[in-house]
Structures are given as C-alpha cells and as structure tokens.
Amino acid sequence: MYLIGENLTFIDDSKSCKSEHYRILFVTLSSIFVLIAKSIHIAPFCNIQFCYSMLIQRFKGKIHRVKVTEADLNYVGSITIDGDLLDAAGIMEGEKVQIVNNNNGERIETYTIRGEEGSGVICLNGAAARRVQVGDVVIIIAYGYMTPEEALAFEPKVAFPDENNRLG
C-alpha cells in the first residue's frame, strides 16, 4: 500500500505472499480500508485505486475412489489418510478437504491426519463417522485459492489408488 500525494493507491503485492491465507488477508484488509475511507469521507478527497486480482477457489488435489477402511465415532474428528496417498495428491496434513461419498451422496468437510504410509487407511473420525460405512467408496478433494491466471496454468494432482487403497 502506498500513499502518493493525494492519491491512495493499492498495489497488488499478493503474488509475493507465501501463503494463500496472507493473500486472502491482503484482499480483505484492502476492502475494509476502502469501507472505512468512505465512511469517514476520505474518499471524496483522494483517488482510491485497486490493482489486486480476484481469487477463485479451484481443486488442487484429489484422491479418486478409495474405500473407507474405518469409521471411529469416538475420535476427536477429521479423516486419517495413508501418507502415500496424501503425497500423491499434494494434500498436506491438517489441510481442509471435502469428502464425497459415492454410496450415499454425502459431502463432508474436515481436515486431514497423516496415516501410516502404505497402510491404505481411510478412516473417518468423530461426527463424520456417522456419514460413512466401512467399504463405502469416497473421493477426497482439496481446494486452493488462486488468481484466474494462476488457475489456468495450475496442474492439480490426482491419485488413482487400487481397490486396496494403494498406489500401483
């Protein structure tokens, strides 16, 4: 953000941000500043320009058609996923994911826990355990925020495990 004479100009510095969260924060804070400027009548006395890009949400990684191996209602929450599958799909531990149950149509949002590599574990924990049965086929999807230009160039990672939830 730069103050130049009577002009307030916002420069899009979001591309240098290391995290999506900082990029979203930058856009949010810029929007709040304009609202405040307008409410205290600064806006009529200066030229406010925005040069930031819109962010869209796009799928960035997917584990396609894995079988639920466990459902643990008494665990704190989340989904435990074989670490090899997380790596293949570019999904981080603790990342928010959407789980689509092909057997009953349920869609669940939770966060990931890294399971033992090569185990094939897909375990829904806590309340999400009520939405699946062991043996259900699910798709696990992670999304990311990016500019439309980044989205056009971005290549999502998709893992296609076998019937035992293992990579070939």
Question: Known catalytic residues?
Answer: 78, 111
CA-nearest of 106, 157, 148, 144 to 128 is 106
Cβ–Cβ < 8 Å for 57, 90: no
Contact between 132 and 71 (Cβ < 8 Å): yes
CA-to-CA dists, residue 129 to 55, 96, 135, 149, angstroms: 33, 17, 12, 38
Contacts of 45 (CB under 8 A, 6+ apart): 6
Exposure string over 114-147, b if 16+ CB within 10 A, otherwise e: bbeeebbbbbbbbebbebbeeebbbbbbbbbbbb
